[in-house]
Amino acid sequence: MADRSKPRMSTIYLYVPNIIGYIRVLMNCVAFGICFSHKGLFSVLYFVSFVCDGIDGWFARKLNQVSTFGAVLDMVTDRISTACLLVILSQIYRPSLIFVSLLALDIASHWFQMYSTFLTGKASHKDVKDSSSWLFRLYYGNRMFMAYCCVSCEVLYIILFLLAKSQSEDVFDVLVFSRKQSLALFLVEVLVLFGWAVKQTINVIQISAPSEVPSKWVSVRILTANDFL
């Protein structure tokens, strides 16, 4: 007999946070479709889509419309949109290896963090109260600090995209030249560079997250998985 306490998938698909997720996907598709012909509009669409990432989470908690489908949709949208922008930057700037490495780090870190969450049986990948890293606990424990770091990354990438005048530019030369162009722009860059650096540090910590999982948790999770084989 079906469990009537659980909402049907057709209902979950129409959750407000998930509808916002669909809109984010659409905005990103349009944004990347016009990124080279309308750089300003691309930046607006991309950033609005990123802001909606926080809005859908607020609606999910406010309306009690949290779902696994929504969490996966949210994370996949985040990773793909950031990945696409990093790929574009790798084609514009040199050394391109910088942006390719950032892409690999971003994907790997989130995969390892989700894997660690699975091993420990936690309900959320943001539950890091038992982590040995104070920075890790601060990042996931303070919503404003985490938002600052995430926004800094995206703003920095958008700034680099807007500053590029041609292909094969040196990313360091562009940043130095922008300092001479505008003091305000330079101050914004310094502000977001700090948040970006913290975010990359968190990504490195996340890769090592599974190594902190007690062996008893690993045994329990493997046994649970084998029960379904």
- Scanning the structure block, which residue is given the tokens 């300003």? 40
Distance spanning both ends of the chain, measured CA to CA: 23
Contacts of 206 (CB under 8 A, 6+ apart): 109, 110, 112, 113, 116, 136
The dihedrals phi and psi of 104, each to the nearest 5 degrees, come to -65, -40
Contact, 66 vs 189, CB < 8 A? Answer: no
Q: How far apart are CA 225 and CA 165, in angstroms?
A: 52
Q: How far apart are CA 169 and CA 95, in angstroms?
A: 9
The dihedrals phi and psi of 8, each to the nearest 5 degrees, come to -70, 155
Q: How far apart are CA 58 and CA 52, in angstroms?
A: 10
Question: With b meaning 16 or more CB within 10 Å and e meaning fewer, what string describes 108-127?
Answer: ebbebbbebbebbeeeebee
Active site residues: 78
Contact, 24 vs 73, CB < 8 A? Answer: no
Q: How far apart are CA 121 and CA 117, in angstroms?
A: 6
